[in-house]
Amino acid sequence: MNRVVESVGEHVEEVKEGDMVVPVFLAHCGDCSDCKNPKSNQCTKFGNRLIDNMPRDGSSRFRDMNGEVVHHFLRVSSFSEYTVVDVTHVVKISHELPIEKACLLSCGVSTGVGAVWKVADVEKGSTVAVFGLGTVGLAVVVAAKQRRASKIIGIDLNPEKFELGKRFGVTDFVNPSDCEEKSVSEVIKEMTDGGADYCFECIGLASTMADAFNSSRNGWGKTIILGVEMHGLPLILNLYALMGGKTVTGSFFGGIKPKIDIPFFIKMYLDKKLNLDDFISHEVSFEDINKAFDYLLEGKSLRCIIRMNH
């Protein structure tokens, strides 16, 4: 999901023709009260509703061959060869960054790294538990290793994820199906002498969110929710544990402000301080896009680069 600017509209000064940009689903106008506040990555002016049209006038810039409206997915429409994106949804990036790496930062890797650095602010020596070792979860692992966490526990039902996770920094692995009579939280509490300092839920299930909370340490354990609950179920927690000091926080896009933090992540990569290369597991042409979805459903893919053929 990376683009070269073909042209710009009236009053657009932030980017110009020929600039390299990354489209992002989260608006960042830079002028509203939320954009100016370091506590939030929301945008008061344009909001964060994942609607299917242009943010300023509610129209669409796409038509099919019959003139019918084609919806503008996540305000980005990255599967199209050309797209029209509001300037609040693009981040100008360095031409030094290899083009196939840029798309990793529009979501996924940025979400996991941002959650560790900005939302949790993981300290040296901390214990970290990561529920779900997909791209977001492994990005959490990478960032936790950068922060010099003493133990990074990966939790996943796919046993192959342990060997993969070790490449990114996982020190220990838990497969919930192998826990026998014990719950996942009991196993993690035994491994961490009372519970992990930080638990990250990267799956999107209320049940694993509760597991993450129950796996965190009493008194100060912090659970960060990155997954979007796919069934719309409520999260049920033990209020006594909350009163005892545990916390839960949500994190949309890892808490990052796109126009500020994505260029920072790019500099980290160019300085060889952030691993992006290992997140690319496959490459396919646009004609084989269904293969990319097959890899995803089979659990074989982290990020698959889809190349447009000209």
Mean pLDDT of the chain: 91
What does the DSSP assignment read for 166-180? Answer: HHHT--EEE-GGG-T
Instruction: Provide the pLDDT for residue 62.
Output: 84
> What's the confidence (pLDDT) of residue 12?
92
The pLDDT value recorded for residue 120 is 96
pLDDT in tens, 63-96: 889 999 888 877 888 777 888 889 999 999 988 9
User: Residue-wise over 248-278: b if at least 16 C-beta within 10 A, else e?
Assistant: beebbbbbbbbbebbbebbebbeeeebbbee
Cβ atoms within 10 Å, residue 20: 18
**Residue 55 pLDDT more than 70?**
yes
* pLDDT at 210 > cutoff 70: yes
Q: Specify whether the CB–CB gap between 174 and 154 falls below 8 A.
A: yes
| Torsion from C-alpha of 264, 270, 274, 280, nearest 10 degrees | 110
**Can you list the positions of beta strands (E) in the chain?**
3-4, 20-23, 90-93, 127-131, 151-155, 172-174, 198-201, 222-225, 247-250, 280-285, 303-307
What pLDDT score does 48 carry?
65
Would you place residue 2 in the very low, low, confident or very high pLDDT band (cuts 50, 70, 90)? low
Highest mean pLDDT among 50-54, 106-110, 137-141: 137-141
Average pLDDT of 163-190? 94
Is the pLDDT score of 270 beyond 70? yes
Mean pLDDT of 183-191: 96
Tell me the pTM.
Answer: 0.91
More confident residue, 58 or 228: 228
pLDDT, average across residues 15-37: 92
Residue that has been written with the tokens 């497969």 in this structure: 175
